[in-house]
Structure formats: C-alpha cells, structure tokens
Amino acid sequence: MLDKMNEKTVAIIQARMGSTRLPNKVLKEISGKPLIWHIIERAKLAKNIDQIIVATSTNDLDTPLYDYLTSIDVLCIRGSEDDVLSRYYTAASDVGADIIVRLTGDNPLIDYKMLDDAVEYYHKSGLPYVSTIDVPTINKPIPLGVGCEVFSYELLKEAHMNAMKSYEREHVTPYMYLDKIKINRSEITPYSFRLTVDTIEDFSCIGMIYELLYHGKHDFCTDEIIECLLLNPEIGITNAGIIQKKLGE
C-alpha cells in the first residue's frame, strides 16, 4: 500500500438486481461469468486496494445476488434499497474502511490501472475526494464506465449526516463534489464510447468487446479497448444512441 499510516482502502461496489432498464444485469453472463464477477476480478488487479466488498439492498430481489457472492467468498453487505448513501456508509463502517473507492455494478470494464492512479493521487493531493477524471497523469477524456471515485470515510460520514436531496442519497457522491469540493460534473464531457451497462444494447456492446479481448485474463485496459473499438466500429455503434440518465432523473 502507498499509505504509511496503515489506513484501510476498501473498494465498495454498489449493485442490485432491480435495474429499471435491464433487470438482473449484474448476474447476466459475459464470457460465461456473471457481470459482477468480472467487475470484482478486475478490481482485484488493482494494487492499492486492501478489500473488495459489494453493497446491495435488503430487497428480496437482491437475495440471488447475495447468495451468489457468498458462494464465491465475496463479502456482501445489505442496506437500504433507495438510500444508497446510507448503504455505502453502513458498508464502510462495518469493515472499518478509512478510504473508499466507489465502483458500481454497471461497469465490467473498470480500468484497474486508472483506479491505482486515482488512489495514488488521493494520497498525494491531500484532497478528501478524487475522481478518475481529476487525476493529472490520466489527463485525457475517458469513456463512461472505466473510472472510479476515491474519498475518505470522514467525508462519507459527513455526506451521510448532511445530504438531504434525493439524488444525493441515491448517487452517493454529489454532496461531496457539488457541496464540498464545488466541482460541476455537467461541464465534463467523457470520451464518446459507452462502456457502462444500462441497457441491452450496452450489454451487447460489452459482450462483443469481451469476445475479442478476454481470453481468461483481464489484462486489457482502456487504451486496448479504445483501439479495439476504433478497429471494429460496428461494436461502438451498438449502443451509440443510448442516452445516459442525468443526475436527479
């Protein structure tokens, strides 16, 4: 670990089965394995994380996800379905996290190298909140779905105690970057490719990428994925028309 004070860095993946646009997506299979498995395996390749856990809800719909994660020895902590900020805070508190890396169950192509860069920058900058797009060493637009956010447990606790707006509770970090750090995320335009899974078109796109790049190892990151999409433009067209939901929708 980078930190010399023995702070515990925990990646918390928020995931649930009740997605409105693509129900049960986290257990839908890509290359013979559930989507959530790929996220976990890619996160394991990051060097600056001490523990990986999944935070899901207490809704009965999420019991199959809980059972699956338990079967593969991944800690799954259950909490509020709608108040995801509360769920995050509970999960982080339960495992004694000092630093939290926020991942979501939508993104089976997270870039573990960028994740390490974000954790490193968090330590060097002294900021209580860092997003992948804030890291100077990356210094380029990145596709939606490959990055992460890193923040302190103390900032998470402050958000949990003070965030009042519904979108702040649902999306975990808006209080942190809007009210605390004063970053307007609406001004940031990501790379045009969508590497997140909200719809069946997204799932199809990700499946084709895995078919070309995954051969039993998650040893490919954003540069290789973009090169693949540029060489195979028919893949990116699959979900090019999908509109990402805006904050508060």
Q: What contacts 189, CB < 8 A, 6 or more positions away?
A: 141
In this structure, is residue 53 part of a structural domain? Answer: yes
In this structure, is residue 203 part of a structural domain? Answer: no
In this structure, is residue 249 part of a structural domain? Answer: no
Half-sphere exposure of 230 (CA within 13 A, CB side): 7
Q: Which residue has the tokens 């997605």?
A: 19
CATH classification at residue 147: 3.90.550.10
Contact between 187 and 209 (Cβ < 8 Å): no
In this structure, is residue 207 part of a structural domain? Answer: no
Question: Phi, psi (5° rounding) for residue 57?
Answer: -100, 170
Q: What is the pTM of this model?
A: 0.92
In this structure, is residue 132 part of a structural domain? Answer: yes
Lookup: tokens for 203: 């799932």
In this structure, is residue 234 part of a structural domain? Answer: no
Contact between 13 and 52 (Cβ < 8 Å): yes
> How does pLDDT run across 51-69, given as a tens digit for each residue?
999 999 999 999 999 999 9
Secondary structure of residue 193 in the 3-state scheme:
strand
In this structure, is residue 3 part of a structural domain? Answer: no
| CA gap 55, 40 in Å, rounded | 12
User: ∠ CA(44), CA(53), CA(55), 5° rounding?
Assistant: 140
> How does pLDDT run across 153-202, given as a tens digit for each residue?
999 999 999 999 999 999 999 999 888 877 665 555 566 789 999 999 99
> How does pLDDT run across 94-136, given as a tens digit for each residue?
999 999 999 999 999 999 999 999 999 999 999 999 999 889 8
Contact between 173 and 92 (Cβ < 8 Å): no
> How does pLDDT run across 12-23, given as a tens digit for each residue?
999 999 888 899
Lookup: tokens for 156: 């998470």
CA nearest neighbour of 86 among 154, 175, 160 = 160
CA dist list (Å): 28 to 15, 40, 106, 204, 243: 13, 14, 11, 11, 22
Query: Count of domains in the chain?
Result: 1
In this structure, is residue 204 part of a structural domain? Answer: no
pLDDT the model gives residue 241: 82
| CA gap 133, 140 in Å, rounded | 8
| Structural domain for 89, as ranges | 9-191
